[in-house]
Every structure is written in structure tokens, then in C-alpha cells.
Amino acid sequence: MILRYALHSILLLFSLMVVQQAQAESSGDKSEDIVFAQCAGCHIPGEDGSLSRISQQRKSPEGWEMSINRMRLMHGFKLSGLDIPIAQSGIHELVKQLADTQGLAPQEAAPYRYLIEQDLNRVEEGFDPDLVVMCGRCHTSARFALQRRSEIEWERLVHFHLGQFPSVEYSLFGRDREWMNIALNETVPALAKEFPLESQSWSEWQA
């Protein structure tokens, strides 16, 4: 009798463990599916499970939220075809998944958290002067420092800026130099070196 109860207890415990594991795996698959379900319609999936443009960059949660809002404003993106109020919780899930898998390690974000925390009474220091002239003249330097991209993605960002803000070549610190040539041949390599997609800090944080 005692042996029978012991066997029943062991089987029950094993069953509970299997159910919990299945639920955990289901939850993980659901989280990963959020990005594919909402983004793969425009961002081409690769054989390795990556998504074009998205998988080649890392950002803070705030940065990903800005990207999603830009998709909504510029490309008419709607989360699952729902209106904005209903879809807001879904956007939070999407931002969380992107930030969890393609975010920033604490060491990477810490020096620039003043931007996220909206500490506006601050004079930025310690940045490459050339990057300040090329990028920091229109927005804070922390804006690009809170991103990590592959070199080709930094290059695409330059093309995006020129297409979206064509006056960048003719405004202050743009018209007195070959802005596009400098941006592609000097600024992009500098950004890719200083703020690379792959880093030891991120690898250790993900481990």
C-alpha cells in the first residue's frame, strides 16, 4: 500500500513537471512568435530565423518603442490590424521581447541613461568630436550611443536620414563639407567600431 502511494506521488510529481515545462516552452514560443507575427510581413525572415533590418540592431526598450511608433506613422503599421488603444498592450509585449533579445547590457546603457531618464539639464561630454558634429548637431549624442548596429545598418541609417531629412546636407555643419562622403566613409565605420552589434558585455549579459 505504501509503495503504491509512493508510486502515485512520483507519477503525479512527474506529470506536473512535464506540464510546467510544456507551459514554459509554449510561453517562450509565444513570445518569439510576437515579433515574427507582427514584423515578418515587411521584414524578410532569414533561414537562421533572423528578420531583415531588425536582427542587425540592438536598442533600449525606449528605442524599440520609438521604432515601432515610426513604423506606425510612416508605414501605417497596425498591430494585428487592431486600433491603437486595444493594441497598446500588444505593443508592450513586442517591445519587451525585442528588448529582451536585442537590447542593451546594463554596462552599455549606463553612461547614457540620462537621455532615457529625461535629465535635460546636462551638457554631454566624452563623445568623439566628429560624431558630435555629424550626428549630435541635430539630436543628443546619447541618441546614437543607446543603439548597437552592424556596419551595414549604420550605413542604412545614414541613407534613411538623407531621405527623411534632405536638408541635413545644407544645414549647419553640413553645407561646409562633403557631408554624404564623410558620413559613409568616416562616420559609419566610427559608429560601427564604437557601438558594434556584437559585444562582450551583451554576450555576458545574455549568458
Q: What is the pLDDT of residues 148-188, one digit of tens each?
A: 999 999 999 999 999 999 999 999 899 999 999 999 999 99
* Judgement on whether residues 164 and 140 belong to the same structural domain of the protein: yes
C-alpha cell at 70: 515610426
* Judgement on whether residues 162 and 185 belong to the same structural domain of the protein: yes
Residue 139 domain-assigned (yes or no)? yes
Higher-confidence position of 19 and 185: 185
Final residue of a domain: which of 60, 80, 101?
A: 101
C-alpha cell at 18: 512535464
Residue 4 domain-assigned (yes or no)? no
* Judgement on whether residues 119 and 176 belong to the same structural domain of the protein: yes
The torsion region of residue 66 among left (phi > 0), alpha (psi -120 to 50) and beta comes to alpha
Residue 19 domain-assigned (yes or no)? no
Q: Residue 204: pLDDT above 50?
A: yes
Q: What is the pTM of this model?
A: 0.79
CA distances to 33, 82, 112 from 23, rounded to whole Å, are 15, 27, 37
Smallest CA-to-CA distance from 156 within 118, 197, 103, 115 is with 197
- Residues spanned by the domain of 195: 106-206
Residue 64 domain-assigned (yes or no)? yes
Final residue of a domain: which of 101, 132, 155?
A: 101
Smallest CA-to-CA distance from 148 within 206, 104, 204 is with 104
* Judgement on whether residues 97 and 110 belong to the same structural domain of the protein: no
* Judgement on whether residues 199 and 120 belong to the same structural domain of the protein: yes
Final residue of a domain: which of 101, 116, 138?
A: 101
Question: How many structural domains compose the chain?
Answer: 2
pLDDT of residue 154: 98
* Judgement on whether residues 88 and 149 belong to the same structural domain of the protein: no
Between CA 122 and CA 50, with CA 161 as vertex, the angle to 5 degrees is 100
Residue 7 domain-assigned (yes or no)? no
pLDDT of residue 74: 86
* Judgement on whether residues 55 and 133 belong to the same structural domain of the protein: no
Q: Average pLDDT of 64-69?
A: 94
* Judgement on whether residues 146 and 94 belong to the same structural domain of the protein: no
Residue 189 domain-assigned (yes or no)? yes
Q: Residue 65: pLDDT above 50?
A: yes
pLDDT of residue 63: 96
* CA separation for the pair 64, 149 (Å, rounded): 13
Q: Is the dihedral of CA 114, 118, 121, 125 positive or negative?
A: positive
